[in-house]
Chains A and B, each alone.
Chain A
């Protein structure tokens, strides 16, 4: 019997990878697009901004491209993939009894610290994802499968950055 309280029978990683690959392939085959997440988040955010401060959106070039004037930033495939991922993640969690209000963290830090670093990590990652024009889903997975040079370079940079910093922040996780 496993020492863990909940059933944590996750999928075999290779099987999960193969399944994800099939989903990615079907996405490309049917639609011509791969997967994505940060783009969906960006568009949802800019649509909120557009309601609060439309003049600002219209004056900032990067935001203008998505939501300038009458353009509806939510009218885009990636928004729906992102929302779908939320629903699918929920459904799977529900099915496997893994929905639980909890904070998962390394043994040596407090929940408060974890929350702080989660936010900080998210901040850096959100920024980096827009700079790179995609995140691990949009650039690494999707761009990687279609052999985009930029995507492969990006992917190695992600792993590189993570490994480079890992030892210095080991207190967070180990």
Chain B
């Protein structure tokens, strides 16, 4: 399913050739739209020639509709499509600066490259300016590093922000764009350049109207077919992922967790899926309580997709049931290095439990490798949470216990990477 890990499939030379081709088409279209001419670009800001707006928003809505259509049809995994992480305030400030640069200089970086290629001297000067600005940034950002990294919101889409399904956002954006196009036509009529060649408008069914109708229809289709649910997404990857669960390759022994906790190379993230009451009685030190709903719906908030590459996430429940459900959710979202605590807390306490605290179930009966009991099977005198002696992996390290290591750190192949 698209997108593809091209470097793995085709190797670097072929992959980079594809990018070259994409860039080629990009530059060619920009030139064909007339964007090597700074006057045409600047005219946007005097309402005379709205080509910039038409091309930009035209491109955005066209691509957007096609992307979500492909995703809805199961052809494209939006989860693996690069979405620029949002850094709200630096983005806005940078954008304002770019607006200033645009009207002063008459280009943007991409169009200046096209202008340069067409021997426009003003394009050359602009490009040199961009280069100087880029270098200047590299040298000065250190002075306000905090600001540069402020207001991070991670991978954050309009759909998540507004709390409405993508299909509706797509439709709304299409309608907004069409409204802007209509407004643009009106403004050009009032302020427009007289030199623009008149377009033949004698046809019965103007192509622009046809295009607009097509966009709306496609947006409605996108809305209608919807985006894949997590269950459907799991179905798609189950052939690859279910064996990992069945062959017990992602369930790690408590002793391995202890080992991971001591490993400086690994950033260990413990997510506890249990009920609050169980959590309050006993939970591992530094573990964080989350619900399945949060894992399903609140993935950006958990920050797992933008976590450092050496993050290993261990899912914990009393047995393994909830942890396995969460594991499937994270697998469909493309989060790497996710494991399940084998046998859950019940097993943890069988292995590490302090004899004074184990009450209900004698050792070995509550859990074992294929624990199915989701109820908390150990009894404690007091609900001490992580203050229990057996809750701290660091403290348990001296008790050397054999285990079969299963964690293999997989580095996310940088499919995306944005402009950085």
Residue picked from A22, A102, A111, A142, most chain B C-beta under 10 Å? A142
Q: Mark B51-90, 1 if CB is under 8 A from A, else 0.
A: 1011111111111101100100000101011111111101
Does A68 make an interface contact (CB < 8 A)? no
Chain B: minimal CB distance from A110 (Å): 12
- Contact A129/B60 with A119-B125, A122-B125 known, Cβ cut-off 8 Å: no
- A16, A82, A131: the one contacting B93 at CB < 8 Å is A131
What does the 1/0 interface line of A76-93 toward B look like (CB < 8 Å)? 111011111111111111
The answer, yes or no, to whether B130 is at the interface (CB within 8 Å) is yes
Q: What residues on A are CB-neighbors of B46 within 8 Å?
A: 166, 170, 173-174
Residues of B within 8 A of A96 (CB): 31-32
- Which residues from chain A contact B90 at a C-beta distance below 8 Å? 131-133
Q: Is there an interface contact between A16 and B27, defined as CB atoms closer than 8 Å?
A: no
Tell me, rounded to whole Å, the shortest Cβ–Cβ distance linking B129 to chain A: 2
> Which residues of the other chain, A, contact B76 by a CB distance below 8 angstroms?
28-29
How far apart sit A157 and B132, CA to CA, in the bound complex (Å)?
A: 22
Interface residues of A in 131-163 (CB under 8 A from B): 131-163
Is A124 within 8 A of B104, CB to CB? yes
Tell me whether B156 and A104 are in contact (CB under 8 A).
Answer: no
Secondary structure type dominating chain A contacts: helix
A103 touches B120 (CB 8 A): yes
CA distance A20 to B54 in the complex (A): 11
A169 CB contacts on chain B under 8 angstroms: 103-104
- Number of residue pairs across A and B with beta carbons under 8 Å? 576
User: Do B129 and A122 have beta carbons less than 8 Å apart?
Assistant: yes
B361 to chain A, nearest CB (A): 48
Q: Tell whether, in the assembled complex, residue A102 and residue B109 are in contact, meaning their CB atoms are under 8 Å apart.
A: no
Residues of A within 8 A of B91 (CB): 132-133, 139, 150-151, 153-154, 157
CB of B205 within 8 A of chain A? no
**Which of A13, A85, A132, A144 is close to B54, meaning CB atoms less than 8 Å apart?**
A13
The winner among B60, B121, B416 for most chain A CB atoms within 10 A is B60
* Cβ 8 A contact of B156, one of A26, A117, A150: A150
CB contact between B38 and one of A80, A118, A160 (< 8 Å): that residue:
A118
Interface size class of chain A, counting residues whose CB lies under 8 Å from the partner chain: 35 or more
Q: Which of B135-143, B284-292, B308-316, B364-372 contacts A (4 or more CB under 8 A)?
A: B135-143
| Bound form: Cα–Cα A122–B125 in Å | 8
**Chain A contacts for B33, CB-based, 8 A:** 10-11, 13, 16-17, 20
**Nearest Cβ on chain A to B272's Cβ, whole angstroms:** 30
CB-based contact A99/B26 at 8 Å: no
Residue B231 is within 8 A (CB to CB) of chain A in the complex: no
Give the contacting residue for B32; candidates A16, A115, A128, A145; CB below 8 A. A16
Distance of A93 Cα from B131 Cα, bound (Å): 23
The 8 closest A-B CB pairs, nearest first, are: A121-B105, A17-B58, A161-B99, A84-B23, A122-B129, A126-B133, A21-B62, A132-B94
- Could you write out 23 A-B pairs with CB less than 8 Å apart? A8-B34, A11-B29, A14-B211, A17-B55, A33-B19, A41-B134, A62-B142, A78-B19, A78-B419, A80-B19, A82-B113, A88-B28, A89-B36, A91-B28, A99-B119, A102-B121, A120-B105, A121-B106, A125-B108, A126-B133, A132-B94, A139-B84, A148-B85
Residues of B within 8 A of A (CB): 2-4, 6, 12, 15-34, 36-40, 42-46, 50-51, 53-64, 66-67, 70, 76, 78, 80-88, 90-110, 112-123, 125-139, 141-142, 145, 148, 153, 155-161, 166, 169, 173, 181, 195, 197, 199, 208, 211, 415-420
Known: A35-B23, A120-B104, A173-B42. 20 other contacts (CB 8 A): A14-B181, A24-B60, A24-B62, A30-B6, A33-B418, A36-B419, A42-B419, A96-B32, A117-B104, A119-B128, A121-B129, A122-B129, A123-B132, A127-B134, A135-B98, A139-B95, A141-B59, A153-B86, A153-B88, A173-B106
